[in-house]
Amino acid sequence: CKSLSLRLGAWNVRTTNDSDDSIRPERATAIICKELDKAPIDICALSEVRRPGSGNLVEKSHTIFWSGSDKKEAGVGFAVRNDLLNKSDLNPIPINDRISKLRVMLKNNDYLTLISVYGPTMQRTLDKKEQFYEQLGDCLEDAHNDRIVILGDLNARVGKDWSSWPSVIVKHGVGNMNSNGLMLLEFCSRYQLCVMGTMFQMKNSLKTTWQHPRSKHFHQIDHVLANTHAKQ
């Protein structure tokens, strides 16, 4: 990739499908890509794509790649700018309906591995959560020499106790940690990853990504994680 920089994003799109009674003038995927083009985002990690199997769909500005299941639940993928695809040999690799990865060649034969994720919700069993992190760990092992950035909805609140996790979160976290957040922090500590959203001093309204339907409180459950090599 000859670009000097890549503009990355993560978006839980809830679905990329159109209902039979939809009255929208455009496909859901076309609307998603229009919004990405406004940002503008070069590569966006998508979650809750909700498409079966794996494949891609070309829109005007971006191509959407997905990795899903027959049940049309969860589902992850990437939206990649078409002009970037034309310049580079980019082929996302579907792992399952919660993990997909994309390797990008940088200058000097360096590589960036992007991993799109959709973490299990609080209601999922412990076995499902452990399986997710085991499979995600396998991806990191495969890319241990690369710059690694993990993006997506991890359904985990990591809180702001930076003194207990000094190498994982920084001083600008939000709210309190939950059990999913503890699993994520332990995973990040094991693989030397930093939760990038805790590094920047901004208003909480600019860092939170989800509103609890009952309490109406806003939480930070979507994250960007990076290894030490990627932060350089």
Digit-coded pLDDT (tens) for 165-176: 999 999 999 999
Gap between the Cα atoms of 63 and 161, Å rounded: 39
Ranges of the chain with pLDDT below 70:
1-4, 231-232
Which pLDDT belongs to residue 1?
Answer: 42
Which pLDDT belongs to residue 4?
Answer: 55
The residue assigned the tokens 């939809």 is: 22
Which pLDDT belongs to residue 232?
Answer: 63
Which pLDDT belongs to residue 162?
Answer: 96
Q: Which residue in 210, 228, 226 sits closest to 157, CA to CA?
A: 210
Q: Which residue in 85, 52, 82, 80 sits closest to 67, CA to CA?
A: 52
Please provide the size of the chain in residues.
Answer: 232
Q: Record the pTM.
A: 0.95
Residue 175 · residue 197 · CB < 8 Å:
no
% of the chain surpassing 70 pLDDT: 97
Amino acid at site 201: Q
Q: Helix (H, G, I), strand (E, B), or coil: what is residue 188?
A: helix
Strands (E), 22-144: 43-47, 54-58, 62-67, 76-81, 93-94, 99-105, 111-118
Cis check: omega of the bond before 40, within 30 degrees of 0: yes
Which pLDDT belongs to residue 3?
Answer: 47
Strands 43-47 and 8-12: parallel
Q: Using the CB atoms, write b or e for 71-93: b if 16+ within 10 Å.
A: eeebbbbbbbbeebbeeeebebb
Residue 157 · residue 178 · CB < 8 Å:
yes
Gap between the Cα atoms of 50 and 76, Å rounded: 8
